[in-house]
Amino acid sequence: MSDPLSRLIGELCRLPGIGPKTATRLAHHLLKVSRSDAGALAAAVLEVKDKLFHCSVCNSITDVEPCQLCTDPQRDQAVICVVEEPYNIQPIERTGEFRGRYHVLMGALSPQRGIGPDQIRVAGLVDRLDGVEEVILATNPDVEGEATALYLARLLKPQGVRVTRLAFGMPVGGDIEYTDEVTLARSLAGRREI
């Protein structure tokens, strides 16, 4: 794969959810756009790598330390919503139903892939429990998300915090990222204690 087109297709295939056919279509699309449009895409990718990082408090993606979600005085400090990945925050925010803080685990438990409690950001969550009354577990409703929620519930309940889980209105095996706002809002409103 030494020619530039094959190299680009190979690099695009490394992106999640992009297979060889989609990578080929994207590569050919990039050949059609102007050099300035291709340059703008390349610059945007480099800017993200240069300017964005994970918040030291909640692990969300930010360009300021700590992030705006952690420093917003209007947000309820007594409630933390735990999500698997930084991109899970936006769908919850779009519902307009949640005004607490977040904690991003940066993954979910998956013994098959060798991901245990030490490979996700659990310790930072436990460190943040002072003054917290409720932790909402908003992990995905799949095997890994359920295992992670059960693990966290067992870990957090002895700390004297109320632990709730999003209600199921979301499809089992689905991702929060692809859930519509109405379903996600109902899931937040109908959360249950674990």
Q: Amino acid letter at 18?
A: I
Integer Cα distance of 82 and 166 in angstroms:
10
Are both 30 and 67 inside the same structural domain?
A: no
Average pLDDT over residues 90-107: 96
CB 136 within 8 A of CB 80: yes
**Global pTM value:** 0.80
**Same domain for 134 and 45:** no
Domain identity same for 35 and 66: no
Residues 176/88, Cβ–Cβ less than 8 Å: yes
Q: CATH number, domain at 31?
A: 1.10.8.420
Residue 13 CB coordination number (10 Å): 16
Q: What is the pLDDT, as a whole number, of residue 130?
A: 95
Under 8 Å CB-to-CB from 161, ≥6 apart: which residues?
A: 129, 132, 133, 134, 135
Q: Is residue 98 part of a domain?
A: yes
In a domain, residue 28? The reply is yes
Q: Are 96 and 132 in a shared domain?
A: yes
- Quick one: 14 and 87 in the same domain? no
Please indicate, yes or no, if residue 56 is contained in any of the structural domains.
Answer: no
Strands 134-137 and 76-83: parallel
10 lies in the same domain as 76: no
pLDDT at 169: 67
Residues 97, 137, single domain; the answer is yes
Q: Are residues 163 and 114 in the same domain?
A: yes
What proportion of the chain, given as a percentage, has pLDDT over 70? 95
Q: How many domains does the chain have?
A: 2
Work out the pLDDT band at 120, boundaries 50, 70, 90. very high
Task: Burial-class residue 161 by CB neighbours within 10 Å (0-12, 13-18, 19+).
Answer: middle
Query: What is the pLDDT, as a whole number, of residue 79?
Result: 98
Would you say residue 188 lies in a domain?
yes
- Asked whether residue 10 falls in the same domain as residue 79, the answer is no
Mean pLDDT of the chain: 92
DSSP label of 57: T
Shared domain check, 78 and 171: yes
Tokens standing for residue 97: 């139903």
Give residue-wise pLDDT tens across range 129-140: 999 999 999 999
Strands (E), 53-108: 53-54, 61-62, 76-83, 100-104
Q: Is 175 helix (H, G, I), strand (E, B) or coil?
A: coil
Residue 1 has pLDDT above 80, yes or no: no
Give residue 188's domain range.
61-193
Percent of the chain exceeding pLDDT 90 equals: 80
Contact 77, 120 (CB under 8 A): no
